[in-house]
Amino acid sequence: MTDNPLTRPGAAHPAITEAVIATLVARFYERAREDAVIGPIFMGAVADWDEHIANIADFWSSVMLRTGRYHGRPMRPHLILPLEPQHFDRWLALFEETAAEICGEPEVANEFIIRARRIADSFEMGRASVTGAIARPRHSRD
């Protein structure tokens, strides 16, 4: 049996802290808002950026540190957005670049990247299922 980072108990990595998560989320959204591909989607969907960033930091805290702070339903808002595969691809590319920059160590950044790819696949497959389509994972690797 191999060590699966997604089911391992505790924090994803000892170097991941609330401060790292907050910096990563804030920097990612700075970039995302300015991005030609995903910026218009975010700008049309988010009314209160401070609230959104805090909510997403709670989400990542729950994912990476298992704090349980996030109590939302992340799929729901994404179902009503005009998202296409290229939006997920750009979101991931931008997120991965930001994680590499903020985390410094590739091993730490990879912990975020593994989960971000799974999240992107989950959202894409969830969006497909509500339209009766079938989608397979495109981003995560086992």
Per-residue pLDDT tens over the stretch 53-107 = 999 999 999 999 999 999 989 888 888 888 889 999 999 999 999 999 999 899 9
> 18-130, what's its fold?
Globin-like (1.10.490)
Please say whether the dihedral angle defined by the alpha carbons of residues 123, 127, 132 and 137, taken in this order, is positive or negative. negative
pLDDT band with cut points at 50, 70 and 90 for residue 8:
low
CA angle 31, 42, 137 (to 5 degrees): 90
Q: Residue 10: left if φ>0, alpha if ψ -120 to 50, beta else—which one?
A: left
| Residue 38: partners with Cβ closer than 8 Å, 6 or more residues away | 32, 87, 90, 91, 94
pLDDT above 70 for 9: no
